[in-house]
Amino acid sequence: YNHFPRDLKWKTTNVTFRILNYTPDLKKKVVDRAVRKALNVWSKVTPLRFTKTFDGTADIMISFGTKEHGDFNPFDGPEGLLAHAYPPGIGIGGDTHFDEDETWTEDYHAFNLFLVAAHEFGHALGMAHSSDPGSLMYPVYSYAKGFPLSEDDIEGIQSLYGENPDHEKFKPKPIAPEKCDPELSFDAITELRGETIIFKDRFYWRLHPNMPEPEQTLIKNTWPEIPNKVDAAYENPERDVVIIFSGIKMWALNGYTLVDGYPKYIHKLGLPKTVRKIDAAVNIRDTGKTLLFVDEEYWSFDEQTGTMDTGYPRSIEDDFPGIGDEVDAAAYHYGYLNLYHEHTQFEYSYSARKVVRIMRANSILNC
Amino acid sequence: AYSSAKPISTEEKDKAVLAKKYLQRFYGMPAGLQRPGKSSDLMQQKIREMQEFFKLEVTGKLDDKTVELMEMARCGVPDVAE
């Protein structure tokens, strides 16, 4: 998180706000509700209290305008700039302006007024932009459900105003994982048309052969239909689909689009009902088999016949000596199975039937 | 005289214009004319600042990823606190 220079903030925790005009995109009461909800995001985690006024000058003056709208800081028509706000202070300080050339909504279409307002009120209270892509104070718009503040946002605003003395329970969004954190473990790994996708928490890293820097993105920004948490994933190159597992459900992605008819239950693969989660999955391209790791055991699914091979489950420890008994994520490249557990990656040679190399899990992220 | 210089393609020009506006608005790049050479150094430095902020690969160049990010809908407050 960042603050403005000199940690600009309001000298009192009682802040007034006034809505000067309304967007025709939404009913007046919907705008009122979105503004109040957006202010409550910040009062939930601090002693800040917001009072609505209907005349005179409030600390936070809220208005909708297009292009040059009076502060010599013009908007730019549809898209691009959505809104801006000024840091705490007298006069224009705290004022928040929305670009009326945008389409304002109360759901995931176009631009959600509540989310943009919550971000701008962060500025009006003293927060500058954060470079954490999972933070509300990240400069680029993205739609997300649930409580919008991440731990990064909360740390920032509480370092200005302190905690909320009578706080209620809320679930802040976790900070985006750091790729070179030595303790980093992965949720899942899969190939996707020549790229490598690594899932961790609400994010994924995308590795592309000619893109040396892995790119971190929110899962929901690319695949809004799948959950925020992926347990396992693998690519079936013959069918050009990636199968995503989360809990007892699975999704099939054809590139970036969801295949019709999904999600389905994982038990359709032939797994027993007792299995409630798949830890890791990997397609062995040379045999056409997909290995599904669950706790200390693994199954082998024949992609050709669409059935589970007989004689499974088998013990991971017995069949892959040296890697321990649990797997978080798995990938297969040219005869080598990379099995990830916690912050370690084991490279298992099929031909030699043994672990030939042990590395940090995030060495794959150039760390 | 024969010259191998080519006019800049319009796409390149668009990118440069977009980047210039973006960096002036969000990364405090001064507007107006600069000494030739100085302005491109300054631009590269500002591109680097923006790539660092967004955790992109820091190249100082207007690569696709950087331009793509500049085109995303966003908040109008500068990224560098002035």
Residue type at A268 in one-letter notation? K
For A237, half-sphere exposure in the C-beta direction (CA atoms, 13 angstrom radius) is 15
Using the Cβ of B5 and the Cβ atoms of chain A, whether some distance falls under 8 Å is answered with: no
Query: Active-site residue numbers of A?
Result: 120
pLDDT of residue A328: 95
The more confident residue out of B30 and A110 is A110
pLDDT tens column, A227-283: 999 999 999 988 999 999 999 999 999 988 999 999 999 999 999 999 999 999 999
Q: Do A139 and B57 touch (CB under 8 A)?
A: no
Mean pLDDT for the stretch of residues A277-293 = 95
Maximum average pLDDT range among A101-110, A317-326, B40-49: A101-110
How far apart are the CA of A152 and the nearest CA of chain B, in angstroms?
15
Query: Is pLDDT of B17 > 60?
Result: yes
Q: Do B75 and A82 touch (CB under 8 A)?
A: yes
Using the Cβ of B53 and the Cβ atoms of chain A, whether some distance falls under 8 Å is answered with: yes
Task: Give the three-state DSSP class for B59.
Answer: coil
Query: Is pLDDT of A171 > 80?
Result: no
Mean pLDDT for the stretch of residues A218-229 = 90
Q: What is the DSSP letter of B32?
A: S
Other Cβ atoms less than 10 A from the Cβ of A260: the count is: 7
How far apart are the CA of B80 and the nearest CA of chain A, in angstroms?
8
Q: Do A116 and B75 touch (CB under 8 A)?
A: yes
From chain B, the residues in CB contact with A2 under 8 A are 81
Q: Do A140 and B56 touch (CB under 8 A)?
A: no
Q: Is the torsion defined by CA of A201, A204, A205, A207 positive or negative?
A: positive
Which residue of A2, A3, A120 is in closest CB contact with B75?
A120
Mean pLDDT for the stretch of residues A164-181 = 81
Task: Return the percentage of chain A with pLDDT > 90, whole number.
Answer: 83
Using the Cβ of B61 and the Cβ atoms of chain A, whether some distance falls under 8 Å is answered with: no
Q: Measured between alpha carbons, how far is A125 from A2 in angstroms, rounded to an integer?
A: 12
Beta bridge partners of A196: A191, A207
Q: Which among A222, A232, A351, A243 has a CA at the least distance from the CA of A306? A: A243
Grade residue A7 by pLDDT with cuts at 50, 70 and 90.
very high
Maximum average pLDDT range among A48-57, A159-168, A350-359: A48-57
Is residue A74 a contact partner of residue A66, using CB atoms and an 8 Å limit?
Answer: no
Backbone torsions φ then ψ of A233, nearest 5 degrees: -160, 145
ipTM over 0.90: no
Cβ neighbours of residue A311 closer than 8 Å, sequence gap 6 or more: none
Mean pLDDT for the stretch of residues A126-130 = 96
Q: Measured between alpha carbons, how far is A217 from A256 in angstroms, rounded to an integer?
A: 14
Task: Give the three-state DSSP class for B14.
Answer: helix
How far apart are the CA of A270 and the nearest CA of chain B, in angstroms?
42
Q: Do A81 and B69 touch (CB under 8 A)?
A: no
Grade residue A23 by pLDDT with cuts at 50, 70 and 90.
very high
Nearest-Cα residue of chain A relative to residue B53: A131
Which residue of A2, A123, A131 is in closest CB contact with B55?
A131
Q: Measured between alpha carbons, how far is A263 from A231 in angstroms, rounded to an integer?
A: 14
Query: Is pLDDT of B1 > 50?
Result: no
Angle at A162 between CA A161 and CA A163, to 5 degrees: 130
Other Cβ atoms less than 10 A from the Cβ of A99: the count is: 27
Grade residue B81 by pLDDT with cuts at 50, 70 and 90.
low
pLDDT of residue B7: 58
Backbone torsions φ then ψ of A266, nearest 5 degrees: -65, -20
The mean of the pLDDT values for chain A is: 93
pLDDT of residue B5: 57
Q: Do A139 and B82 touch (CB under 8 A)?
A: no
Using the Cβ of B22 and the Cβ atoms of chain A, whether some distance falls under 8 Å is answered with: no
Query: Is pLDDT of B31 > 80?
Result: no
Does residue A165 have a cis peptide bond before it, meaning omega lies within 30 degrees of 0? no
